[in-house]
Each structure stands twice: as C-alpha cells, then as structure tokens.
C-alpha cells in the first residue's frame, strides 16, 4: 500500500474584485483533478513552471488548505476525515521543508527549541528526552549537537537548511514535503544537501515529495517524476524513463531546456514560446495548446485524459 495516495485532487481559489463591494468574480483553478501516489522510502519529484500548483498541492497534503474535491489517503486512510489522535499522528508523520530557511525558522528561537517545537506540540516528552532527540536529529543531518544553543543567523544557508531538515525529521516522520529545498542555496551547497537527503532516506526509509522546477536536480533525487502544467498532471513516469523517453511536448521542452546547449545536437530544439497562461482564465481543451508545437484543432476544444502508455508511464496528450 502506498504511504500517500492522491485521487482526483482539486483546489479552486475564489477571486474577488472591486474595492468597495468585493464580489467573487471567478476561480483560480490551482489544482485540477491530479492523481499520484508515493511508496514508503520513495521520492516522487513534482516539477513544473511557477504558478502551476506545486505548493498548493503541498499545502493540501499538509492540511493547510482544504481541497475543493478529491481525496488524500495516508496509509489508506482519508485524511479529510481525521480528528483527535489520528489527526495528531498524521501531523507528526508528515512534515515540510520550504525553500527559504531564513523565512521558515524563527529568528528569535534557538535552534534546539526550533527543532523541539513539533515534539513539544505532538508528544509528551520530558525536557531531557527532548534534548536527546534534538541531539540525535542534529547528528543525523551532519551537525554537531552543540549547535542547539545557537540562533539561525549564526548558520550558513546550507546549515540552516540542515536545521530545517532536522526539525522535519524530529517526529519520526514518514513523509517529508521538500518544496524547492535547494533553490535558494549556492550551487556548491545544493549537491551536499541533496546527498544528505538521499543518505537520510537510505537510513530512515522516509518518503519524499520533492518539488522543484529544475529537472536535472529533481531527476537526480527522484525515483519517479510527475510533471505539472497549469494545475494538471500531464505526465508521470520513472525518472530514467521520463528523461529517456519524454512523451508530453511540455516534458520534452523542460528536458531540452535542462540540457546544456550542444552545437552538434541532432535533436531539434522545441522551444516553448509565449507566457504561461493565467490560472484564472486557463485555455480550453489542452491547457498547453497555446504553446505546444504539435497542437492540432482538437487540442483547443477537447481536454486530453491521462493514459498509461507503458507500465508506470502515463501521459495526457492527444498524440497518444
């Protein structure tokens, strides 16, 4: 059974206009009927351009937003129906690491207290047990237990992100949502953090949902990748398969953009031209048709449904 299973998940945000009488005038369709699952010890990458709905998906899983439709199951149980102990257990099991460790770590708290916070809320541990657990997770992420008494500003960017990961691990976490965890870091530090995350997964068996927009990084850490475009999942496959045989024209464009330019490259560069359309007024039919080099008449009227074209490889495009 997968750890996490997302079925037909949907999130529409109401949009209001007018200064005096604010009236609901439309909906931002941030997430539209997406499906994926994550196994124990697996990393699923979630990739797509800015505004395609990645963070909204994360917030739905973290119960920071309520879905408009669909279900999220954790260990087979619908998280929408959780309360009391079951809800507490879920909140302990699923944690998040955001892009900017400065914004996500309280500047006035010592690192030890920052890491202990989710444990204080969710468990009845004594002061001594808390300190011991803080020391354990600091060592797990490659930091000395002595740093517990320091403040976030006393760390480098990479070390701060290690603190955020330690905090996310503290509650014997089963799934960590990594929302662009290395995007704000120096290139030289990124690989260290990615390697640390992989090592932690090997040791602890924790699952990751790794959100990013850089295909090279996402493909490196993920066993499978889901590609999102304007609220829709357009393709999902194993990372090696997706990079070797990208089927959706949008995935192909992302892949070519991620490759270093090669003057002798035989492969034709498929440029994605034009702006990302607004999620407030998404194009009808296939949402990618305004930018797709293969668009056919049917693409602007009929939305493609996702089809499994090879085991574990699904794509939503009329070409398949």
Ligand X SMILES: Nc1ncnc2c1ncn2[C@@H]1O[C@H](COP(=O)(O)OP(=O)(O)OP(=O)(O)O)[C@@H](O)[C@H]1O
> Interface residues with ligand SF4 (CB under 6 A)?
248-249, 286, 288-289, 292, 294-296, 299, 304, 317-319
Nearer Cβ to ligand SF4 (167/232): 232
Taking CB under 6 A as the criterion, the residue among 2, 41, 51, 145 binding ligand X is 51
Q: Tell me which of ligand X, Mg ion, ligand SF4, none is bound by residue 251, counting a contact when its beta carbon lies within the kind-specific cut-off of 5 to 8 angstroms.
A: none
**CB 144: neighbour CB atoms within 10 A?**
9
Taking CB under 6 A as the criterion, the residue among 34, 52, 138, 255 binding ligand X is 52
Dist. CA 285–CA 224, nearest whole Å: 27
By CB under 6 A, tell whether 61 contacts ligand X. Answer: no
Binding site for Mg ion (CB under 5 A): 54-55
By CB under 6 A, tell whether 224 contacts ligand X. Answer: no
| H/E segment holding residue 90 | helix 84-93
Q: Is 199 helix (H, G, I), strand (E, B) or coil?
A: helix
Nearer Cβ to ligand SF4 (158/246): 246
Q: What per-residue string of b and e applies to 57-83 under the rule 16 or more CB within 10 Å gives b?
A: bbbbbbbebebbebebbbeeeebeebe
Strand 69-74, strand 4-17: pairing? antiparallel
Instruction: Please count the residues of this chain forming the interface with ligand X, following the rule CB under 6 A.
Output: 13
Using the Cα atoms of residue 313, residue 90, residue 103 and residue 114 in order, give the sign of their dihedral.
Answer: negative
| Residue range at the interface with ligand X (CB under 6 A); choices 52-60, 88-96, 155-163, 290-298 | 52-60
Dist. CA 68–CA 60, nearest whole Å: 10
By CB under 6 A, tell whether 279 contacts ligand X. Answer: yes
Q: Tell me which of Mg ion, ligand X, ligand SF4, none is bound by residue 13, counting a contact when its beta carbon lies within the kind-specific cut-off of 5 to 8 angstroms.
A: ligand X
Taking CB under 6 A as the criterion, the residue among 2, 7, 10, 13 binding ligand X is 13
Nearer Cβ to Mg ion (54/190): 54
Using the Cα atoms of residue 189, residue 228, residue 200 and residue 87 in order, give the sign of their dihedral.
Answer: positive
By CB under 6 A, tell whether 33 contacts ligand X. Answer: no
| Residue 271, burial from CB neighbour count under 10 angstroms (0-12, 13-18, 19+) | exposed
Which stretches of the chain bind ligand X, using CB under 6 A?
A: 13, 28, 30, 48, 50-56, 213, 279
């Amino acid at each position: 059974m997968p750890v996490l299973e997302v079925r037909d998940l949907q999130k529409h945000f109401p949009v209001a206009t007018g200064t005096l009488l604010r009236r609901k005038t439309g909906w931002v369709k941030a997430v539209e009927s997406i499906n994926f699952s994550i196994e124990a010890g697996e990393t699923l990458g979630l990739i797509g351009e800015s505004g395609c709905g990645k963070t909204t998906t994360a917030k739905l899983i973290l119960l920071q937003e309520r879905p408009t439709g669909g279900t999220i199951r954790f260990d087979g149980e619908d998280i929408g129906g959780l309360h009391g102990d079951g809800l507490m257990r879920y909140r302990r099991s699923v944690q998040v690491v955001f892009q900017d460790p400065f914004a996500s770590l309280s500047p006035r708290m010592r690192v030890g207290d920052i890491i202990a916070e989710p444990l204080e809320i969710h468990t009845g541990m004594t002061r001594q047990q808390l300190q011991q657990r803080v020391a354990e997770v600091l060592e797990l992420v490659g930091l000395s237990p002595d740093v517990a008494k320091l403040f976030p500003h006393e760390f480098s960017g990479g070390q701060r992100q290690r603190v955020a990961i330690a905090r996310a691990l503290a509650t014997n976490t089963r799934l960590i949502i990594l929302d662009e965890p290395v995007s704000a870091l120096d290139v030289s530090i990124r690989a260290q953090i990615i390697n640390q995350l992989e090592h932690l997964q090997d040791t602890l068996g924790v699952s990751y949902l790794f959100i990013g927009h850089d295909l090279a990084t996402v493909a490196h850490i993920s066993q499978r990748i889901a590609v999102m475009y304007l609220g829709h999942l357009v393709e999902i496959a194993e990372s090696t398969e997706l990079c070797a045989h990208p089927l959706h024209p949008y995935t192909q464009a992302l892949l070519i953009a991620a490759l270093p330019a090669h003057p002798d490259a035989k492969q034709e560069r498929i440029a994605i031209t034009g702006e990302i359309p607004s999620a407030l007024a998404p194009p009808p039919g296939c949402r990618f048709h305004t930018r797709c080099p293969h668009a056919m008449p049917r693409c602007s009227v009929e939305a493609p449904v996702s089809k499994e074209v090879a085991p574990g490889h699904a794509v939503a495009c009329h070409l398949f």
